[in-house]
Amino acid sequence: MVSNVSTLFRNRRNTKEMVAGLVRSLVSQKIGNYLIFFPSYSYMTMVVRSFETLFPEFETLVQTPRLTEVDREHFLQKFSRHNSSTLVGFAVMGGVFGEGIDLVGDRLTGAAVVGVGMPPPNLERELINAYFAEQYDAGYEFAYIFPGFNKVLQASGRVIRSETDRGVVLLIDRRFASRNYQSMFPDDWNPTGVHDPGDISQVLEDFWG
């Protein structure tokens, strides 16, 4: 868990290279297939450009808007058990690859979740906010925090799909270290705090070693 990086909208341009470097550390310790999840297409595109520029040695695969069923199957077929080099897929939380897919065994080695998945404000969100604020004094939680964290859980859950699966999940956002988010972590989550690519490399070397 990387707790010293802000993924807030106003900070994204300033931290995109940092996020790209963190992803590189995640995918460098073991050859395999990885999925990197973002809260929006625009943020994903920003980091993908930085990642491909800084680390062109990696094969990348990027989710596009309005995927057809054929496009979806083509994307998933790339996640083969027999890949001889690392594949880094980029996708959006809450989309077709953030839930409802089963990449068992070696088809998915690890994932990163960039951001807390919080939905953007709109009329529906604000109505939910107002209702639960009045009923339970927890409007913001029900309108934004809980729906966002559900996307985080769904994306993270892509990695372990059977009792024999083994993999890693990297959470990138300083908000994950807050008491509010820590209280929502599943009981079997025991995240290791890291602060830079070197920390990630060391933790993963020990894990995969």
How high is the mean pLDDT of the chain? Answer: 94
pLDDT of residue 150: 96
The answer to whether the beta carbons of residues 39 and 112 sit under 8 Å apart is: no
Q: Is residue 63 part of a domain?
A: yes
pLDDT tens, position by position, 160-200: 878 888 999 999 999 999 999 999 999 989 899 999 999 99
- Say how many domains are in the chain: 1
**pLDDT (0 to 100) of residue 160:** 83
Total Cβ atoms within 10 A of residue 132: 17
Question: Would you say residue 176 lies in a domain?
Answer: yes
Cα-to-chain-centroid distance, residue 121: 21
Tens digits of residue pLDDT in 94-135: 988 877 787 877 899 999 999 999 999 999 999 999 999 999
Read off the pLDDT band of 209 (50, 70, 90): confident
pLDDT score at 40: 95
Q: Give the Cα separation of 33 and 69 in Å (integer).
A: 21
The parent domain of residue 15 ranges over: 9-203
Residue 106 resides in a domain: yes
Give the residue-averaged pLDDT of 55-59.
97
In a domain, 159, yes or no: yes
- 82 pLDDT tier (thresholds 50, 70, 90): confident
Structure tokens at 140: 């913001």
Average pLDDT over residues 40-52: 97
User: Measured between alpha carbons, how far is 178 from 44 in angstroms, rounded to an integer?
Assistant: 24
Structure pTM? 0.94
Q: How many C-beta atoms lie closer than 10 Å to residue 148's C-beta?
A: 19
Whether 209 is covered by a domain: the verdict is no
Examine residue 4 and state whether it is found in any structural domain, yes or no: no
- Can you tell me the distance from the alpha carbon of 143 to that of 125, in angstroms, rounded to the nearest whole number? 5
- Is 2 contained in some domain? no
Domain-embedded: residue 1:
no
Assign residue 90 the CATH number of its domain.
Answer: 3.40.50.300
Q: How far apart are CA 106 and CA 134, in angstroms?
A: 48
In angstroms, rounded to a whole number, what is the distance separating the alpha carbons of residues 176 and 179? Answer: 8
Q: Which of 38-47, 79-88, 161-170 has the highest mean predicted lDDT (pLDDT)? A: 38-47
